[in-house]
Structure 1
Amino acid sequence: MADQSGSAGGAAGTQAPGAYPGGVPGYGAQPPNGYGYPGGAPLPSGKATASMVLGILGLVLIPIILPITALCLGISARRMADRGEGGGRGQAVAGIVMGGVGIAFAVLGIIMATVQGISAM
């Protein structure tokens, strides 16, 4: 005679030990292994973070000194990340890019100021 209960266990009302009817695990269930970064990825280094922050501030506040510092710190932090000595490669690259853009803006501003000064004479 065929089982008409629709359950895989055969008899009506049977279920796996430690499980509830809705599929919610009971007290016997184990939590998943591992939390946080998979494989223990390194956290961003201070140089990478400083490079990114100085790159942002260099675009807004001091357009000559901060972008140069951001560029130097970013290159150093990216090399450290490539060697596996720290994380934050993305932040380092962001600092390099913003430092380069800040230096370009500073050079462009100096050239424009020079041209305007010469044409005013």
Structure 2
Amino acid sequence: MQSQSQSPYAGPQYVVAVPPKNSKATRALVWGIVCLLINPFALPSILAIVFGVQSRTTADQMERAGLVDSGRGRATAGIVLGCIGAAFFVLWMVYYVSQVILPRVSG
């Protein structure tokens, strides 16, 4: 009979549940592509960045669990495209305000 201290298991074993695939990474990439084509109120850019950051966290968990296809590349591409789309949106807003709004206000 084995005693409690000689058990091969030191303590309770925990299993972390990870999703089988990272669908948020695909959403981030799709929203990143959309934000380069059309970007009303920078909403697609924001969605690409948010989904990208969330899916990077999921990718970390999946890689720790030993899954190969974690979606890290799609998530990173979504974040990068979302940032580029947001930068284009800001530049467009600066141009619009300086060329359209300010001349009407000044007169």
TM class by smaller structure = 0.5 to 0.7
Identity among equivalent positions (%) equals: 38
- Higher relative contact order (Cα pairs below 8 Å, separated by 6+ residues): 2
* Structure 1 residue 113 corresponds to structure 2 residue 77: no
* Structure 1 residue 52 corresponds to structure 2 residue 26: no
Highest Rg: 1 or 2? Answer: 1
Long gaps (5+) in structure 1: 1-41
Taking structure 2 as the reference length, the TM-score comes to: 0.67
- In structure 2, the CA distance between the partners of 1:43 and 1:94, relative to structure 1 (3 Å rule), is farther
- Between Structure 1 and Structure 2, the one with more helix by share is 2
Long gaps (5+) in structure 2: 1-18
Q: Secondary structure at the match of 2:92?
A: helix
Between the two proteins, the alignment pairs up a number of residues equal to 80
How far apart are 1:44 and its partner, in Å? 4.7
Q: 1:71 aligns with which of 36, 39, 49?
A: 49
**What amino acid sits opposite 2:88 in the alignment?**
F
> What is the root-mean-square deviation in Å for CA atoms of aligned residues?
2.0
Distance 1:44 1:67 in 2: 23
Distance 2:38 2:97 in 1: 21
Taking structure 1 as the reference length, the TM-score comes to: 0.60
